[in-house]
Amino acid sequence: MAAEQPGAAEGSVIESTPFVLKCPKGTRDYDPFQMAIRQRVFGIITTCFKRHGAVTISTPVFELKETLTGKYGEDSKLIYDLADQGGELLSLRYDLTVPFARYLAMNKIKQMKRFHIAQVYRRDNPAMTKGRFREFYQCDFDIAGDYDLMIPDSECLKLLHEILTDLKLGNFVIKVNHRKILDGLFAACGVPTDKFRAICSAVDKLDKTPWETVREEMIEKGLTGEVADAIGGYVQLSGGSDLIEKLQMDASLMKIKDAENGLNEMQLLFQYCEIMGITGQLSFDLSLARGLDYYTGVIFEAILKGDSSSPGSTVSVGSVSGGGRYDELVNMFDPKSGKVPCVGFSVGIERIFSIMEARAKEGALGDIRTSPTVVMVASAQKELVKERMKVSNMLWDAGIPAEMSYKKDPKFLNQIQFCEQHGIPLIVIVGADEKEKGGVKIREVNARREAESFVLLKDLVDEVKKRLT
């Protein structure tokens, strides 16, 4: 039914639209079970970051629009711009890398190893079933500083390997390439310098798009069919150290200084990764381009492999991490301060979570507890709420996660069921007889033991800690 808008011109009618209660497109809510899985994932990743000596920082969820402009190539159209609210043009952060570079430049920092776990925003076409959202978490690790060739780069690959191994996501491959090699082969094939980034963006689609479609895009961007075919002869190659050696024998490629330097650096990188024992999961893949404009050296991307018949299959998930070297980004913000070379990567938590959630539903992750509570303070008799409060307070003061019913005289069966529903392992029972003796009883709920042990209040904390370990 049409509704008249208050204050509208006489005779005008505005159609009312029924309000639909839902999450905005490309976002979702997470229930306690899902959050428990996410916290487990975050915990594993954070442990890996700290193992390598990284400190953590935090930056605002929005930046000056000018800070983000010109850093993402064709992906710049996915940046969320905000309405002017006080004289500053702002945008939601697209990733955590550009804000990190801004942070380094603004604070004149020349060296830092940092991680940052936070939400980013992209005005993309979401595919929720594939873990592609408009609001999502990234877990970033970066090493900033002027160090010797390929040492920080190899540590980043080692750390990424550790994360994917510790998460137990199944088989994976880390594709590696080098922007100098790409630029070198573009030059060797006759691509004009001003078209390098545009052609790089086209090549980056090869993991999802057939070569013929990518070839057509290159021609649309100004290349001849002959030049596009020459590029195709390179970018469909992949391998390991053998491919590096093969390309080093390519006379036309080695005439280009960028290609020669890039291949030498890639050879050194593989030597370091061999020492770290991770080359079995590395693939030198010339189709990897990483479309973002700020990359200058090594680039890499982690791809999950799997069997569609297995629980939590990774077949349709694809890339879960990407990164590389960006030596010029900090300097773009503060040209006078000198170059601050950086290398790092980002782990896309949403795609990993979609796998972990599927595995959890199959029982592959074991028991997932949604509550941190380990002790329920209960009573089977009335008028004992103050005693339950005293015992709960004792446990809280000792740092032990505990709960009690908010009803004055709760039913004992309801308290037991609460423990079972939330996976609470211990129940401390307050009773009139125990109160007179200066103690309580303890029952192990998760072991289904009906036997109750009497414990003096002065020994309760020690006894709880003993049973929990």
Is 294 annotated for ligand binding? yes
122 is in an annotated binding site: yes
- C-beta of residue 352 within 8 angstroms of C-beta of residue 48: no
- Residues 231-273 have pLDDT tens digits of 999 999 999 999 999 999 999 999 999 999 999 999 999 999 9
User: Cα(first)–Cα(last) distance of the chain, in Å?
Assistant: 64
Q: Is 95 annotated as a binding residue?
A: yes
Helix, strand or coil, per DSSP, at residue 354: helix
Tell whether residue 295 is among the known ligand binding residues.
yes
Say whether pLDDT at 176 is over 80.
yes
pTM higher than the cut 0.75: yes
DSSP 33-86: HHHHHHHHHHHHHHHHHHHTT-EE----SEEEHHHHTTSSGGGGGG--B---SS
The whole-number pLDDT of residue 308 equals 42
Confidence of residue 309 (pLDDT cuts 50, 70, 90): very low
pLDDT at 13: 53
Is 165 annotated to bind ligand? no
Reported as half-sphere exposure (CB side, CA atoms, 13 A), residue 2 has a value of 6
Given this model, what pLDDT does residue 200 score?
A: 86
Query: Would you say residue 312 has pLDDT above 50?
Result: no
Which of 131-135, 374-378, 463-467 is least confident? 131-135
Domains along the chain? Answer: 32-361 (3.30.930.10), 375-468 (3.40.50.800)
Mean pLDDT rounded to a whole number for the chain: 89
List the structure tokens of 384.
């004992």
* 142 annotated as belonging to a binding site for a ligand: yes
For residue 19, what pLDDT is reported?
A: 87
pLDDT of residue 310: 45
Residues 77, 45 contacting (CB under 8 angstroms): no
DSSP string, 401-456: -EEE-SSSS--HHHHHHHHHHHT--EEEEE-HHHHHHTEEEEEETTTT----EEEE
Q: 118 or 449: which carries more pLDDT confidence?
A: 118
* pLDDT of 314 above 50: no
Q: Is 140 annotated as a binding residue?
A: no
With the C-alpha atoms ordered 140, 141, 146, 148, is the resulting torsion angle positive or negative?
Answer: negative
